[in-house]
Amino acid sequence: MKPVNFDYYAPSSVDEALDTLAELGYDGKVLAGGQSLIAAMNFRMARPSALVDLNNVAELSYIKPTADGGLAIGTMTRVSTVEHNQDVIQRFPLLVEVAKFIAHPQIRRRGTFGGAIAHADPAGQLPSISMVMNMQALIKGKGTERWVAAPDLIIGPFMTVIEPNEMLAELVIKPHPPRTGAKYVQVSRQSGGYAQSAVASIVTLDENEICKDVHMVLMSVAEVPILSEKAREILIGNKPSKDAIEAVAEAASTSEIDPASDLHASADYRRSITRVLIVRSLTEAFERAKRGGK
Amino acid sequence: MTGKYFGNPIKRLEDKQLLTGNAKYIDDIEVPGQLHAAFLRSDFAHARILKIDVSEALKRPGVVAVYTAEDFGDFWKPGPLQVPPPTAIPGSKFNARTLVPIAKDKIRYSGEVLAVVIAESRYIAEDAFDDIIVDVESLPAVVDLEKAWEDSSVLVHDDLPSNMAALVTQEVGNYEEAKKKADVVVARRMLIEHVAGAAMENRGFLASWDDQNQVMTIWANTQSPLTVRGSVSRALGLAESQVHVITPAIGGGFGPKVMTSLTDDVLLPWISKQLKRPIKWVEDRRENFLATTSERDQVHHCEIALKKDGTILGFKDVFYHNTGAYDSYGMTVPLNTQTHIISNYRVPNFYTQIRMVFTNQMVVTPVRGAGRSEGVFAMERMLDFAAKEMGLSPIEIRRKNLLRADELPLATGITGQDFVKNTLDSGDYLGNFEKCLQAIEYDKFIKETQPKAQKEGKRLGIGVVAFTEGTAVGPYEGCKVTVSTSGKVTMTTGYSSQGQAHYTVFAQIIADQLNVKVEDVKVITGDTNHFAWGAGTFASRGATLVGTAALLASQKVRAKIFSTASKALGVPEDQVELGEGSVSIKGKPDSAIPLGTLAAMANPMRGVIEPGVEPGLEATAYYGPPHGSTGCGAMGVILSIDEETCKPVLEKMVIVDDCGTMINPLIVDGQLQGGISMGIGNTLYERLVYDENGQLLTASFMDYLMPLATDMPKKLEIIHNHAESSLKLNPLGIKGVGEAGAIPPGPAIVQAIEDAFADKGVEILETNLSPSSIYGYLKKVEHK
């Protein structure tokens, strides 16, 4: 359990990092918090020939409120920083709720917000949350910059559209409309463990208690996180009644997911709890929407 | 017996070193010139080796040597039987196929070592794996225990007619006759899952041959340094005095570190001698999961025969026990299972058969609980099934059959791991159980708490079980106690320590006898140049065996203090007073001589000491019990379970334990807590899973779930219930407690989960449950 030989670069600015990545091309791999990459390297499942360590790039670590009421989060911001940031707590309590489920405090102190998203682990919470919140990802290369919406960023298990000579620099979250509520729920065998299934919902109500908008992501029940179409079909324009929510749970858990059996859970069980979690997530999200997001 | 220190909950003396990160573990040790070893391990579980080509690896810069089995010549041979076969049991069959240090011709489990790479760093050694070409002919793997037993099975050892490693039958009374008289007979097949020892620190071994002095120094985090010294000296043709085994600070043992004759302790000393360089190997977690020993993994076919009123007439248990690819550790685990099946209850007729079977899996040796938990699980579960069938409560059936204090001592007639017929020495088994029922508020739970929760749509369940813990088996242990001229006291023992607080409890015993401060007693464990007699750390035997030896040795030193002081002070011994750290004439504090000065007087540089008197304030003592002593207790669990997600939460646990006299109640509580967490882990989280090809699917903590702090019960109550009849087997009245906590959580939690779903008639026939498997059980009854 020792990694193979690799070159190590520790740039101190974004420009220097991008120069290094451009030079290295396919040989380079960005090191952020290292909570997944280092373990994979120790198992020799990942064998990058060079690491570009961003931990000395101070300018990548920040949480900035945006003028429209959203937030911009630098890629190297630690998950624990996000978890305890007042602007995050005020504007996007869902992120705080989710952060508590990400492994353990020690890992959250090292693991980074952008690193987790760029890693695109289908069992990781943050890639799913980036999708359901429709975060905008800023991808930088040497002399290039492009914006990609999170649902388009992640294209497969551990796969994104980020090129080897690029890096994820920032994530921008747009503010929620008024009367928006959100709820994350998961079932895992242990606290801090991988979820056997998880659901996050963000719902918006109009003044007549009609569902104006809904985004729901289903995690750990397919190769990639699933953004539910059924939830939108069934709920938008309708009252989010118990029956309607049950209908979403039934439709989504039977037709939108493709859970696998593994050591920790059978596919059947995963399907069954996904149904339960959809009901719990949507029900609470709508309750929170009624209370103005609280 | 309570003294200034003995019996008191003083804090552990070793903790400062451990908690401040100043303890020196094996990986912290650097010997000048040290090389590193890495073991290339087989990906195949069962295969014939055609060719291993290491020529490319030898060319890699930094690689010093690469060895395969052939390179060891005559030195390669199957290892010794670490525990002898059960000759004490008539009619038993045992096929010894002992561990080989490195695979030759045939691979018998995934993870078996194929090549040893020695390099300037561990990194380079692992890089060299990529250069080694292994050509094998893959064979079907033997994985399933019951299928492996059949004559038609593929063979793990080609020279045996079957995969039978052992067949041991023991019977007291006559089960078949009892069955004829029974009103009710209940039969079930149950699975005991395979789990790891998973100490925080993995194995490690550093061998350093000193060619000038012709001495082999070995640092090993072993539970049995004297076994290592013996086997290394025999293998290399050295005198035992030429082999010095040192155990550094050790991060947990739990059983697997007792195993020797693995690749590290056999081959690395030989290689160090060849290369004349120190060689270090520290096992990584993947290796630990794959190739170090593990335990449990049994299939039980049980039958219980009862009278209408619930009285047990007889019990039968034919069980398959997986020994893995080799059986060097003999039959300790299944023999423990046999003794513990009936060790709580009145069972007049008992038939038990071990079918120990070879498989293409890693070797099975004791892991905390060590067969006891399996036996207790089988009996406790069968009582639950019988109670249900007869319409009795699980409490009634236990009350009726639990042994009462006045029935002990009781010879069960079953021979145990120590090859001695098991005697239940003392304890109040029924009393433990009743105390547990009170503490868990059983009646209130059944009458009020559970029905009320049910009305609110919440599912709660309760489970209460009894258990015993066979501990403190022979042969013996010993120690030497010395008073230094500084007045400090040193105790040395061959016993090795893996975190059990030996440095505190032995010091407590000695400090009281010699009237010194406990922190002035320095305990040295597991260094063969200090003390070279003993068996090893296992079977919860340290406190009883080494503790008693410490008492006996310090009593001898105490006597010598009095005789020496009598001469020095010029008064008869009965006029000598032993104060804290000094001796004086009674009533004359001015006459005080510090203990250190007295030690110097006992070892004069001039003059003479009388014939027959040994110099110094020092004595050695040994203690071996006539048979093991049996701890006992009961456990109650209340849990809640989310019906939709099937996730259980442990609301409350109670353990009642009788481990005899406690040297230090704080440390006893710590042992119980640690054991309970292991029992919880074994029941709800931990599981080693092999697929049909013999591949271990759980070779990291990502897949093998260890119990976490957050998985512990919301409330845990520990009740010490030392029977009046307390043990008279040894002078301190101590029994072991190291494994107690790990034994009852399995059957207690499973019973509680069944109870939570009592209306659905769920019946659970295995030790290990996940929310998903509980969901599976519920689905099964719904579809009935």
Per-residue pLDDT of B435-456, as tens digits, reads 999 999 999 999 999 999 999 9
Whole-number Å distance between alpha carbons of B331 and B328 = 9
B448 and B580 in a single domain? The answer is: no
pLDDT tens digits, residue range B361-420? 999 999 999 999 999 999 999 999 999 999 999 999 999 999 999 999 999 999 998 888
Q: Any idea how long chain A is?
A: 294
Whole-number pLDDT of residue B129? 97
| Cβ contacts of B770 on chain A, cutoff 8 Å | 189, 264-265
Buried b vs exposed e over B56-65: b needs ≥16 C-beta within 10 Å?
ebeebeebbb
The CB density around residue B270, as the number of other CB atoms within 10 Å, is: 21
| Whether B284 and A1 lie within 8 Å, measured CB to CB | yes
| Cβ contacts of A1 on chain B, cutoff 8 Å | 126, 284-286
Coil, strand or helix: which one is B569? helix
Per-residue pLDDT, averaged over B56-83, amounts to: 96
The CB density around residue B351, as the number of other CB atoms within 10 Å, is: 20
pLDDT tens digits, residue range A145-178? 999 999 999 999 999 999 999 999 999 999 999 9
Bridge-based pairing of strands B521-525 and B489-493 is parallel
Of A43, A189, A276, the CB nearest to B770: A189
Whole-number pLDDT of residue B612? 85
Beta bridge partners of A129: none
Q: Does residue B541 belong to any structural domain of this protein?
A: yes
pLDDT tens digits, residue range A24-40? 999 999 999 999 999 99
pLDDT tens digits, residue range A57-100? 999 999 999 999 999 999 999 999 999 999 999 999 999 999 99
Whole-number Å distance between alpha carbons of B112 and B42 = 5
- Higher-confidence residue of A1 and B340: namely B340
Whole-number Å distance between alpha carbons of B346 and B174 = 14
| Assigned token pair, B114 | 């194929």
pTM of the shown model: 0.96
CA dihedral A99→A105→A106→A109, nearest 10 degrees, is: 50
Coil, strand or helix: which one is A161? coil
Residue B126, chain A, CB below 8 Å: the answer is yes
Q: Which stretch of DSSP H or E encloses residue B763?
A: none
B659 and B768 in a single domain? The answer is: yes
Which of B589, B623, B657 marks a domain boundary?
B623
Beta bridge partners of B467: B633
Residue A187, chain B, CB below 8 Å: the answer is yes
Whole-number pLDDT of residue B604? 87
Quote the crossing angle between the two packed helices B263-275 and B225-236, to the nearest 10°: 50
In terms of Cβ atoms closer than 10 Å to its own Cβ (0-12, 13-18, 19+), residue B409 is middle
Q: Does residue B519 belong to any structural domain of this protein?
A: yes
Q: By C-alpha distance, which of B467, B496, B493, B490 is closest to B479?
A: B493
Whole-number pLDDT of residue B419? 87
CB contact at 8 A, B573 and B289: no
pLDDT at B725 over 80: no
| Cβ contacts of A273 on chain B, cutoff 8 Å | 644-645, 771
B459 and B493 in a single domain? The answer is: no
Buried b vs exposed e over A142-165: b needs ≥16 C-beta within 10 Å?
eeeeeebebbebbeeebebebebb
Whole-number Å distance between alpha carbons of A7 and A51 = 6
- At B220, which amino acid appears? A
Whole-number pLDDT of residue B431? 96
Q: Number of A:B CB contacts under 8 A?
A: 67
pLDDT at B613 over 90: no
Coil, strand or helix: which one is A127? helix
**Residue A67 C-alpha, separation from nearest chain B C-alpha, in angstroms:** 41
* Rounded alpha-carbon distances, angstroms, from residue B129 to A50, B97, B116, B288, B720: 21, 29, 10, 18, 53
Residue A67, chain B, CB below 8 Å: the answer is no
Bridge-based pairing of strands A28-31 and A50-53 is parallel
Residue A2, chain B, CB below 8 Å: the answer is yes
Beta bridge partners of B594: B582
Residue B708, chain A, CB below 8 Å: the answer is yes
Whole-number pLDDT of residue B532? 96
B456 and B545 in a single domain? The answer is: no
Residue A268, chain B, CB below 8 Å: the answer is yes
| Cα B784 to chain centroid, rounded | 42
B516 and B645 in a single domain? The answer is: no
B618 and B634 in a single domain? The answer is: no
Q: Does residue B658 belong to any structural domain of this protein?
A: yes
Of B123, B689, B700, the CB nearest to A2: B123
Whole-number Å distance between alpha carbons of A212 and B4 = 75
Per-residue pLDDT, averaged over B503-523, amounts to: 98
Of A5, A193, A269, the CB nearest to B775: A269
pLDDT tens digits, residue range B172-227? 999 999 999 999 999 999 999 999 999 999 999 999 999 999 999 999 999 999 99
CB contact at 8 A, B190 and B297: no
What are the boundaries of each domain within chain A? 7-56, 58-173, 180-290
Q: What is the DSSP string of A5-68?
A: P-EEE--SSHHHHHHHHHHHGGGEEEESS-TTHHHHHHTTS---SEEEEGGG-GGG--EEE-TT
**H helical segments located in B195-319:** 225-236, 263-275, 285-291
Contacts 24+ apart (CB under 8 A), B12-19: B12/B501, B12/B503, B12/B504, B12/B666, B12/B667, B13/B503, B13/B504, B13/B507, B13/B518, B13/B519, B14/B501, B14/B503, B14/B504, B17/B249, B18/B249, B18/B499
CB contact at 8 A, B124 and B62: yes
B564 and B647 in a single domain? The answer is: no
Whole-number Å distance between alpha carbons of B518 and A75 = 55
CB contact at 8 A, B487 and B516: yes
B445 and B588 in a single domain? The answer is: no
B578 and B565 in a single domain? The answer is: yes
Hey, what CATH topology would domain A7-56 get?
3.30.43
Interface of A with B in 191-210 (CB under 8 A): 191-194, 196
Per-residue pLDDT, averaged over B307-327, amounts to: 98
| Cβ contacts of A270 on chain B, cutoff 8 Å | 772
Whole-number pLDDT of residue B3? 86
Q: Which residue of B has its CA nearest to A4?
A: B127
- At B726, which amino acid appears? S
The residue of A268, A273, A274, A279 whose CB has the most chain B CBs within 10 angstroms, and thus the best one to mutate to test that interface, is: A273
| Cβ contacts of B711 on chain A, cutoff 8 Å | 190-191
Q: Does residue B709 belong to any structural domain of this protein?
A: yes
Q: Does residue B681 belong to any structural domain of this protein?
A: yes
In terms of Cβ atoms closer than 10 Å to its own Cβ (0-12, 13-18, 19+), residue B266 is buried
Coil, strand or helix: which one is A156? strand
B565 and B686 in a single domain? The answer is: no
Least confident of A38-52, B108-122, B589-603, B723-737: B723-737
Q: Print the domain residue range for B603.
A: 474-623
Per-residue pLDDT, averaged over B30-50, amounts to: 98
B478 and B502 in a single domain? The answer is: yes
- At B355, which amino acid appears? R
* Rounded alpha-carbon distances, angstroms, from residue B555 to A121, B598, B780: 64, 16, 64
Which of B623, B639, B671 marks a domain boundary?
B623
Buried b vs exposed e over A231-253: b needs ≥16 C-beta within 10 Å?
bbebbeeeebeeebbbbbbebbb
Residue A278, chain B, CB below 8 Å: the answer is no
Coil, strand or helix: which one is B189? strand
Q: By C-alpha distance, which of A244, A294, A243, A251 is closest to A275?
A: A251
Pick the CATH number of A58-173 from 3.90.1280.10, 3.40.470.10, 1.10.8.50, 3.30.465.10: 3.30.465.10
Whole-number pLDDT of residue B729? 84
| Whether B772 and A3 lie within 8 Å, measured CB to CB | no
Whole-number pLDDT of residue B185? 98
CATH code for the domain of B528:
3.30.365.10
Whole-number pLDDT of residue B609? 79
pLDDT at B1 over 80: no
The secondary structure of residue B61, as a DSSP letter, is: T
Residue B35 CB-half CA count within 13 A: 27
**What is the total count of domains within chain B?**
3
Of A4, A44, A265, the CB nearest to B770: A265
Residue B782, chain A, CB below 8 Å: the answer is no
| Cβ contacts of B710 on chain A, cutoff 8 Å | 190-192
Whole-number pLDDT of residue B784? 67
Which of B238, B263, B291 marks a domain boundary?
B291
Whole-number Å distance between alpha carbons of B778 and B760 = 8
Q: Does residue B704 belong to any structural domain of this protein?
A: yes
Strand B648-658's sheet: what is its strand order? B459-471, B629-641, B648-658, B715-720
pLDDT tens digits, residue range A252-261? 999 999 999 9
Beta bridge partners of B137: B48
Whole-number pLDDT of residue B322? 98
Strand B243-246's sheet: what is its strand order? B63-67, B113-119, B35-41, B279-282, B204-210, B215-220, B243-246
Cis check for the bond before B615: say yes or no (omega within 30 of 0): no
Q: Which residue of A has its CA nearest to B703?
A: A263
Residue B60, chain A, CB below 8 Å: the answer is no
Q: Does residue B103 belong to any structural domain of this protein?
A: no
Residue A266, chain B, CB below 8 Å: the answer is yes
Per-residue pLDDT, averaged over B680-685, amounts to: 98
Q: Does residue B124 belong to any structural domain of this protein?
A: no
* B779 dihedral zone (left: phi>0; alpha: psi -120 to 50; beta): alpha
Whole-number pLDDT of residue B724? 67
pLDDT tens digits, residue range B254-301? 999 999 999 999 999 999 999 999 999 999 999 999 999 999 999 999
CB contact at 8 A, B452 and B125: no
Whole-number Å distance between alpha carbons of B661 and A199 = 53
Specify the CATH class of A180-290 in words: alpha beta
pLDDT tens digits, residue range A186-231? 999 999 999 999 999 999 999 999 999 999 999 999 999 999 999 9
| Assigned token pair, B138 | 């893959």
pLDDT at B101 over 90: yes
**Residue A276 C-alpha, separation from nearest chain B C-alpha, in angstroms:** 7
| Cβ contacts of A4 on chain B, cutoff 8 Å | 123, 127
| Cβ contacts of A265 on chain B, cutoff 8 Å | 770-772
B653 and B747 in a single domain? The answer is: yes
pLDDT tens digits, residue range A259-278? 999 999 999 999 999 999 99
